[in-house]
Amino acid sequence: MAGSTPPPTSEFSVHSCVTLLFISRMASRTTEPCSCDTFVALPPATVGSRVVFGKNSDRPSDEVQEVVYFPAASHKAGDKLECTYIEIEQAAKTYAVVLSRPSWIWGAEMGANEHGVCIGNEAVWGREEVCNNEALLGMDLLRLGLERADTAENALTVLVDLLEKYGQGGNCMESHMAFTYHNSFLIADRKEAWVLETSGKYWAAEKIEEGVRNISNQLSITTRIDREHPKMRDYAKSKGWWDGKKEFDFAAVYSYVNTARMTTSRGRYCDGYKLLNKHKGNITSETMMEILRDKESGINMEGGFMTTGSMVSILPQEPNLPCIHFFTGTPDPDRSVFKPFIFVPNITQLLKTSSPTFGHDDPVKEQPRFLTKPDRRHELYKQHESAAVVMETFKEKGKEMLEQIRKLEKEKISKMESILQNGCLDVNQAVNLFSQSVEEEINTYA
């Protein structure tokens, strides 16, 4: 009965309910694999002297996304690094990072580092055949860029150097079903942003110094190219994609996109572009959260592929102010809490948003891969999963719960705004900032 208290349910029964909801959604719609939207707004499009970054990670709806922190570290010469599928050379020094990632992979869908660099990635396809061979996933490249670069452009250089050396490829889904793609990236810091789009080992990059920019599941760099693979144009000519005479348009040449209609034809890229421009001049972290929650546009995706994690970052241009990164760590930002994280020394480990680890026994590491699929749910995910059942089954109780989590989120945003306005950060509180916010969210589900 609406408004009544739901009966207690076991962890197993809650998970079963969510699985049934997933199956019913899949039966009611056909969802093609696609993923993600990433946004950036720079002055004068934003309120205050800030860069605002945002991303939704759209992944298989039963996939768990975790929020994890790794401190800065030094490494010995000759050290090796095991990524999702392959081993590469380790860097001498890696920066502290906070990541939102599918819990079965080494890399990440989105994240930030201690220097205020943020990166989000997208799946893209085009004329160049996607390589099924195991190499670096785009998500691996993203994490490597964050660990090894202190500016957005330096991260771009790290990514393209690694792309040239190791290539990109491998299954991007924890399943026997192959899901492979090329990658695009939106990279931002306190001063500027870069869009990097790839096709195999070839790539083009566009610099953004003001205004707004978004990327989705299509190539979007056209004739404005600020950096590129040195053989990108020659390769396109050799394939017959470009005659060498017309103005070079990367998206048109390397894919099948009608670039003249990209911002007018209906689709997530176009709708994201319109939403950013609708709020241009007044964009805040809350504005970005609203965009990520938009369901009509499909940016907040539902169905077999859905938004499984979201991120919003505030990057003040004043170097004395901290960058603030908000993560949900749970599916569907419309009923999730954006919780703040600030880089300070000795951060408390994010235990309740970290999934179980299985070491060398992980089915991802064994050959053949993906024979089994372990339970990767972390504590926040489990509690949010239970709350989702309540919200869908008991409308009044669900409405009350949603009001509570939105109130919690507004309180956190207000406190973060106070830090930015007053320039006063309590480092001792920041150490536990994200973990404490997770505890408070879990309490609202009790």
Provide the annotated active-site residues.
36
**Cα separation of 432 and 429, whole Å?**
6
What lies within 8 Å, CB to CB, of 423 at 6+ separation is 320, 321
What lies within 8 Å, CB to CB, of 245 at 6+ separation is none
How does DSSP assign 340-364, residue by residue?
EE---TTPPP-GGGPPP--GGGSTT
CB 370 within 8 A of CB 174: yes
Take residue 97 and report the two structure tokens written for it: 């990072």
Take residue 57 and report the two structure tokens written for it: 């990670």
Cβ-based burial of 32 (10 A; exposed 0-12, middle 13-18, buried ≥19): exposed
Please name the residue that has the structure tokens 């790539």: 203
What lies within 8 Å, CB to CB, of 38 at 6+ separation is 53, 54, 55, 56, 110, 120, 121, 122, 186, 214, 215, 216
Which residues face 305 on adjacent strands? 60
Please name the residue that has the structure tokens 């195999």: 200
With DSSP H G I counted as helix, E B as strand and the rest as coil, what are the percentages for the chain, rounded to 5? 35, 25, 45
Which residues face 73 on adjacent strands? 94
Take residue 36 and report the two structure tokens written for it: 């993600």
At 97, give phi and psi (nearest 5°): -135, 150
Residues shown for the chain:
446
**Cα separation of 445 and 433, whole Å?**
19
293-314 b/e with 16+ CB inside 10 Å = b? bbeebbbbbbbbbbbbbbbbbb
In the three-class reduction of DSSP (H, G, I as helix; E, B as strand; rest coil), residue 236 is classed as: helix
402-413 b/e with 16+ CB inside 10 Å = b? bebbeebbeebb
**Cα separation of 20 and 18, whole Å?**
5
**Cα separation of 147 and 193, whole Å?**
17
